[in-house]
Structure 1
Amino acid sequence: MPEPKSEASRILGVRLRRRRRQLSLNQEAVAHLAGLNVSNYARIDRGLGNPTFHTLIRLATVLGIEPGDLMTGFNSAQLPPSRDGLEDPDAVMASAR
């Protein structure tokens, strides 16, 4: 089985899956209601996808929660390494100057 792209993706998948199950919905129903392809939603639900902002809003709406409930508590340590190597917040600020 593929590994999540990041810890953040894994956590998001857990949150979505937990809420979906609380509502007794299957992946197909959530995908349909959110206007998503079932396989794309299934990847997000398993923590393998990286949904867009608009997709997160659609999913939160279908699941009857605030989008912020899906996104709370994340930090940069849960993301995959950046392509530009600017992981340190001080380095990011220095590069912006």
Structure 2
Amino acid sequence: MSGTSPKPPISSAAGEFGARVRARRRELGLSQEALAEGSELHWTFIGQVERGQRDLSLHNILRVARVLDVDPGELVRGLRG
């Protein structure tokens, strides 16, 4: 272990969005790899999204929401930038 601390979320909104994605993914019993494959994104990108370290384009939010079988609005409702 190198002693470096994990990278923090890029914003509180990104952190909350990622937590919502992770919670729904786990609720469905999906791995990050399965979510990535279904949404045509790389599994490392999904991990970064869940940790709030990446910003998603609208197109990618729609892809992720489709695989999670959730309205995209549920993932972003109430978030403030």
Structure-1-length-normalised TM-score: 0.76
Specify which of 25, 45, 48 is matched with residue 43 of structure 1: 48
Specify which of 48, 57, 77 is matched with residue 62 of structure 2: 57
Return the structure number with greater relative CO, CA threshold 8 A, min gap 6.
2
Unaligned runs of 5+ in 2: 1-5
For 1:25 and 1:6, the matched residues in 2 are separated by: 25
Specify which of 5, 28, 52 is matched with residue 10 of structure 2: 5
> Shift of residue 54 of structure 1?
0.3
Residues 1-97 of structure 1 correspond to what in structure 2 (within 5 A)? 1-75=6-80, 79=81
> Shift of residue 74 of structure 1?
1.5
Give the RMSD, CA atoms, in angstroms. 0.7
Identity of aligned residues (%): 36
Between Structure 1 and Structure 2, how many residues are aligned? 76
Q: What amino acid is the match of 1:38?
A: W
Q: What amino acid is the match of 1:24?
A: G
Unaligned runs of 5+ in 1: 80-97
> Shift of residue 29 of structure 1?
0.5
Structure-2-length-normalised TM-score: 0.90
Q: Which has the larger radius of gyration?
A: 1
For 2:50 and 2:37, the matched residues in 1 are separated by: 14
